[in-house]
Amino acid sequence: MTTKTDFLVIGSGVAGMWFALQASQHGKVAIVTKAQRSESNSRYAQGGIAAVWSEEDNYDNHVRDTLVAGAGLCRRDAVELTVREGPARIRDLIAFGTRFTRAEDDPEKYSLHREGGHSHRRILHAADLTGAEIVRALGEACAQHPNIIILENHVAVDLITENWLCRRLEEIPPEEPRVLGAYVLDLDADEVEAFSARAVVLAAGGAGKVYLYTTNPSVATGDGIAMAYRAGARIANMEFVQFHPTCLHHPKETSFLVSEALRGEGGKLTSWPGPSTTSSSAAAWNACTSTCDTWNGLRWSGCSPISTRS
């Protein structure tokens, strides 16, 4: 059985649903997700989204903070693009129904947190469950759109490329192969289905769950990265795996993230027993925060179909 659509999106996190809402203006979109539609890395993001929002802040401050915290690893053009587009993407999220927390002393304004690595308060948040709130808002928007269908419990197995089809037909593959679709396992029906699409977007998240101790959810197993690699895509920057320095660990329970906002509000890391270790860990903490901010900001800007050019 083959399902045809204009756009196939693999993954139902913020990146996948954001792209689906933009692409739905140009055709039919099918989102496949391995679990429930709300289960993704995006859902577990706590603290908030960094954007220049107050009159006391400006783009230059945010760019400088990110470059300093990035310790020479950030591309300045990408940082500047993310910072300058950030406020517009926040307004888009609000238009889609995201309910950010309002300031207690002025309900007309939004509450702004300050996290590690930031010189100003610029973290818009929904209490301390920002990811869950954004996923809720975008999920409802996708569910209500007539051009978008979300297929839960559908696991993407592999991408279908022109090279793969040519090998089956014993033909010479094209010089610039294209991704034509994907094979997807329907867990409920226990059947593999072929999806054909004009464009395929991999928004399947990272691979943090390959580590024994992590705050990543169980769905972050790197499926999309592996499929892209097998299809011939170039894989880069695999060393950039986000590790939160504050995780509540229990040997018999699932570990979970303790919000980074704690340090922004004055919390300190300590050894046991021993003095505060904030000063020695600040650089790593700040770099982790900045990398997350930049990556999330780029994701708000949208996605493009994967290229298989090597």
Q: What is the pLDDT of residues 177-198, one digit of tens each?
A: 789 999 999 999 999 999 999 9
Calpha distance 278→88 (Å, rounded): 34
How far lies 168's CA from each of 161, 163, 171, 177, 193, in Å? 11, 9, 8, 15, 18
Classify residue 211 by its DSSP letter: S
Query: CA 214 to CA 242: how far, in whole Å?
Result: 9
Q: Which residues are CB-contacts of 99 (< 8 A; sequence separation ≥ 6)?
A: 126, 133, 137
Annotated domain spans of the chain: 2-240+291-300
**Inter-helix orientation angle 130-144/14-23, to 10°:** 30
pLDDT of residue 281: 46
CA–CA distance, 128 with 113 (Å, rounded to integer): 10
- Secondary structure in 3-state letters for 79-144: HHHHHHHHHHHHHHHHHCCCCCCECCCCCCCECEECCCCCCCCCEECCCCCHHHHHHHHHHHHHHH
Task: Report pTM.
Answer: 0.79
Identify the weakest region by mean pLDDT among 4-8, 136-140, 238-242.
Answer: 238-242
Fold for the domain defined by 2-240+291-300? FAD/NAD(P)-binding domain (3.50.50)
Cis link prior to 177 (omega < 30° from 0)?
no
Instruction: Name the token pair of 289.
Output: 């925060």
Q: Angle at which helices 76-95 and 59-69 pack, to 10 degrees?
A: 120
Mean pLDDT of 215-233: 88
pLDDT bracket for residue 275 (50, 70, 90): low
CA distance 77 to 139: 31
SS3 230: helix
Contacts of 61 (CB under 8 A, 6+ apart): 52, 119, 120
227-258: pLDDT as tens digits: 999 888 888 888 888 777 677 777 787 777 77
| Residue-level pLDDT at 175 | 67
With pLDDT > 90 as the criterion, what percentage of the chain qualifies? 55
pLDDT at residue number 253? 76
DSSP state of 204: -
* Calpha distance 149→5 (Å, rounded): 10
* Lowest-pLDDT range of 11-20, 47-56, 117-126, 234-243: 234-243
How far is Cα 262 from Cα 267, in angstroms, rounded to an integer?
Answer: 5
DSSP-based three-state secondary structure for 279 = helix
Say if residue 92's pLDDT is above 60: yes
- Give the residue carrying structure tokens 């950010």: 100
Instruction: Inform me whether the pLDDT recorded for 100 exceeds 50.
Output: yes
